[in-house]
């Protein structure tokens, strides 16, 4: 029996279940919870921006910020271009009738060579700043606008045990991994959406990267190898 832990917030794990075999044992262990800024506070941050160009870039770093990016497009008195980190974020933005000009499929850093002028990064209060660093190294003006904060949960003893017993753990962000890491066994397969989270997990764990249409088949192949190893050890 393959045991899987899904660690996104409540209501955000349904899509991940589509990647799993129906016979696998699945448990949900949310690693974080999200606190969103009010529209008034977010709007105030936008109005405080001192933009010198009429076509700045707006960067959505996650699907959680999609609503705020769409709001910014409507609120700003300029015509921004929109870039998204990952296909899922782009889909969330487009679902709000907002055009997406650029998608970084391989993570935030993949956007850097294509962004110029002024860049407004919309996302979490605490996040990796690799994109901002790359842009500033090219003298691109970067402004951060916060729209939510990801807060770590304190896992219950039963949740800690469930993680330790899991063969596969899905991890959606670096902040989630920092919560989960103490309880994840070293022979666990860690499944991540992209390069940024994979880098946070590091080389001590086997990592499967990419929440795409091919993932179900890749997981099935991995599970056959794992079960074959278990049978040979008996």
Sign of CA dihedral 157, 162, 168, 169: negative
Give the residue from 125, 111, 109, 73 showing the smallest Cα distance to 196. Answer: 109
| pLDDT at res. 234 | 66
Q: Which of 128, 150, 172 is the last residue of a domain?
A: 150
| pLDDT at res. 107 | 78
**148 token code pair:** 């939510």
Domain that holds residue 161: 3-31+153-233
**Residues 85, 144 within the same domain:** yes
Domain count across the chain:
2
Q: What is the pLDDT of residues 67-105, one digit of tens each?
A: 999 999 999 989 999 999 988 899 999 999 999 999 998
Instruction: Give every residue of the chain whose pLDDT is below 70, as ranges.
Output: 128, 234
**Residue 94 belongs to domain with CATH number:** 3.40.50.10090
**Residues 100, 14 within the same domain:** no
**Residue 225 belongs to domain with CATH number:** 3.40.50
**Residues 39, 83 within the same domain:** yes
109/131 Cα distance (integer angstroms)? 5
């Amino acid at each position: 029996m393959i045991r899987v832990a899904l660690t996104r917030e409540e209501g955000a794990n349904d899509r991940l279940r589509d990647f799993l075999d129906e016979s696998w044992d699945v448990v949900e262990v949310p690693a974080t919870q999200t606190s969103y800024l009010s529209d008034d506070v977010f709007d105030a941050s936008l109005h405080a921006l001192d933009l010198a160009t009429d076509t700045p870039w707006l960067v959505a770093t996650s699907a959680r910020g999609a609503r705020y990016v769409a709001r910014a497009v409507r609120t700003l008195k300029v015509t921004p271009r929109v870039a998204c980190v990952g296909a899922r974020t782009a889909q969330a933005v487009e679902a709000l009738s907002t055009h997406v000009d650029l998608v970084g499929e391989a993570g935030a850093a993949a956007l850097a060579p294509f962004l110029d002028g002024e860049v407004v990064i919309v996302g979490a209060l605490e996040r990796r700043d690799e994109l901002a660093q790359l842009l500033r190294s090219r003298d691109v003006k970067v402004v951060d606008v916060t729209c939510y904060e990801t807060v770590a949960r304190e896992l219950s003893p039963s949740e800690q045990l469930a993680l330790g017993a899991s063969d596969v753990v899905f991890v959606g962000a670096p902040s989630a991994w920092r919560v989960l890491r103490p309880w994840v066994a070293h022979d666990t397969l860690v499944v991540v959406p992209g390069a940024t989270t994979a880098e946070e997990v590091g080389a001590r764990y086997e990592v499967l990267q990419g929440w795409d249409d091919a993932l179900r088949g890749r997981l099935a192949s991995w599970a056959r190898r794992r079960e074959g190893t278990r049978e040979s050890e008996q």
